[in-house]
Amino acid sequence: MTDQPTTDDTKYPDPAEFSKNLVKIAAQSQQIVADFLKHNDVSEGPQDPLNIGSAFMEFAQKLADNPEKLFEAQIDLWQSYINLWNNAAQRFLGKEGMPVVAPDAGDKRFRDAAWSDGRVFDFIKQSYLLTANWLQKTVHSIDGLDPKTAQKVRFYTRQFVDAMAPSNFLVTNPEVLRVTLESNGDNLVRGLKNLLEDLERGKGKVAVKMTDMQAFEIGRNIATTPGKVVFQNDLMQLIQYNPSTEKVFRRPLLVVPPWINKYYILDLRPENSFVRWAVEQGHTVFIVSWVNPDERHASKTFEDYGFEGIVGALDAIKRATGENEINAIGYCIGGTLMAAMLAYMAATNVHRIKTVTFLTAQVDFTEAGELQVFIDEEQIKHLETLMNRKGFLEAGEMSATFNMLRENDLIWTFVINNYLLGKDPFPFDLLYWNCDPTRMPAQMHSYYLRNMYQRNLLVQPGALSFKGVPLDLRKIDIPVFIQGGREDHIAPARSVYKATQIYTGPVEFVLAGSGHVAGVVNHPAAKKYNHWTSTERPYPPNLDEWLKGATSNPGSWWTAWEKWISTKAGEMVPARKPGGKHKPIEDAPGSYVKVQTLA
């Protein structure tokens, strides 16, 4: 067994071509450094804006206070390396040896056959995995750390470990080495060109291109469900979709998506569009398309999003359909806002929303997952400083944060593909949406981070108020449908589940397979993922207990939701055209959604 192919058709590099490409690489590398310095003043701002240093200093002190545990960990590591060396020696002697450590089943970094067939690369892979696993195990074993500090240390240790994977470097990635030799280094020239373009697009920060951005156009091959913009204000456009059935349910359906991203995640392509599917079920669907904020929206508040967004939509729906009562959906932060508005409406005796569906929406943030790593006082102050300069948070800041939650899938995979292999990313609608982010207004975003993530005030009765009216989520007594994603990294299912213990009306909880996006956008025709339901009432206090009595059902959760919502949507009436008697403003998807912040 060898590490290099020995057949006669082995392609060796052409020295002249390889030398020319090395010169190009050197020139491009110089340009990359110059471009970075042009856009970034490295002398400005805090040296540790993420407040990582103090967390690791505290960790180091705890480690020093417990030398016995560190000694035991070192002994374990050395024993593992002895086993690895013995295994490697057996393989180099031509014998078979069982691996000491293997990648997890879902780890895509070591799929190339050379990682297993090549003795040298197999040794590199196993030595990395041993060290990475040991380091993370050691970090998890230290007692006495503040829980938030421990979470931060573990998170950034994982980021470091994943960044140092041998697959991320030219000389230790067999696939990249092979392509480099076969192409005379042309892959590296193309890769540096891709990096330069991403730096320029990100204005000095690497905005990794995850898909072919020219392959999609909003309104042409994504966000194509036909409809009209029937209302707009400073914060949103309201889209009403054309009916596709002769009869529709009397009660309209309002969808309030997150404004952290754009609404068309729910209307990507016909074959995976929730909007189109809901229209086909006989719902009169309205959706909020939020503005992509700029300096004009700096003073917009969380409360403004509620009244200009949700209440503004309710009034427009009544003008368009004559209906005062609706069913509502709130997705992610759109669901958090919806819960706050429902508490306000309950306190002021307004009953225009008759049922609500929450999609991966948190209201109790005590177990909000790894996003809490970014919510300490120092980091919020740093973000507020950045936002106050322009009146908003740049879209790339939010994107980078979310990508770090799934760093191997959303960062390092593209580093290897785009920069080391020099390939163009594959056209993918969901990743196009992921690369089309939105800004955050300064006042709204500061309020949300401090009062939800940091202080968890929404779940505390009376701690927050709208227009001077104290908010109490316990007063929400309408039928509630809650969907969580089993692998959700942004709104963890156990955090979403907590809402089942708050509302006083009838609650239905469904757990979907996959995560924050794929778990929501899962057309029944795809026959992907399972969803879990339970007939137990009342629901137990936590998700783990709920799962013990839950039943796994094949396919999408959409069908369970439709069975639930169809009994609460009223009788069938003749289909309605968008706007009713009022002239629509423009065709869907509207103009607000087309404002982009990254090219």
Nearest Cα neighbor of 343 from 302, 371, 286, 375 is 302
Contact 309, 335 (CB under 8 A): no
Residue 17 contacts by C-beta under 8 Å, 6 or more apart in sequence? Answer: 184, 185, 186
192: helix, strand or coil: helix
CA distance 484 to 497: 7
From 153, 314, 329, 332, the catalytic residue: 332
232: helix, strand or coil: strand
Residue 79 contacts by C-beta under 8 Å, 6 or more apart in sequence? Answer: none
Type of residue found at 81: Y
Type of residue found at 542: N
Q: Which helix (H) or strand (E) holds 413?
A: helix 413-414
Would the CA dihedral through 342, 306, 223, 445 be positive or negative?
A: negative
Q: How many residues does the chain have?
A: 599
Q: Tell me whether residue 435 is one of the annotated catalytic residues.
A: no
Nearest Cα neighbor of 509 from 355, 346, 339, 357 is 357
Residue with tokens 């669907």: 285
Q: What's the burial of 311, exposed, middle or buried (CB within 10 Å: 0-12/13-18/19+)?
A: middle
What does the block give as tokens for 178? 């092979």
DSSP-assigned letters across all residues of 65-90: T-HHHHHHHHHHHHHHHHHHHHHHHH
Q: What's the burial of 193, exposed, middle or buried (CB within 10 Å: 0-12/13-18/19+)?
A: middle
Type of residue found at 71: F
CA distance 165 to 178: 18
137: helix, strand or coil: helix
Nearest Cα neighbor of 594 from 145, 292, 257, 199 is 292
506: helix, strand or coil: coil
Integer CA distances (angstroms), 559 to 359, 527, 555, 566, in order: 14, 11, 9, 10
CA distance 433 to 417: 19
What does the block give as tokens for 306? 């509620």
Burial 148-160 (b: 16+ CB within 10 A, else e): ebbbbbbbbbbee
Strand partners, 357: 329, 481
DSSP state of 583: P
What does the block give as tokens for 519? 């778990």
What does the block give as tokens for 391? 């009146």
* Dihedral over alpha carbons 303, 308, 314, 320 (to 10 degrees): 180
Type of residue found at 25: I
Residues with catalytic annotation? 332
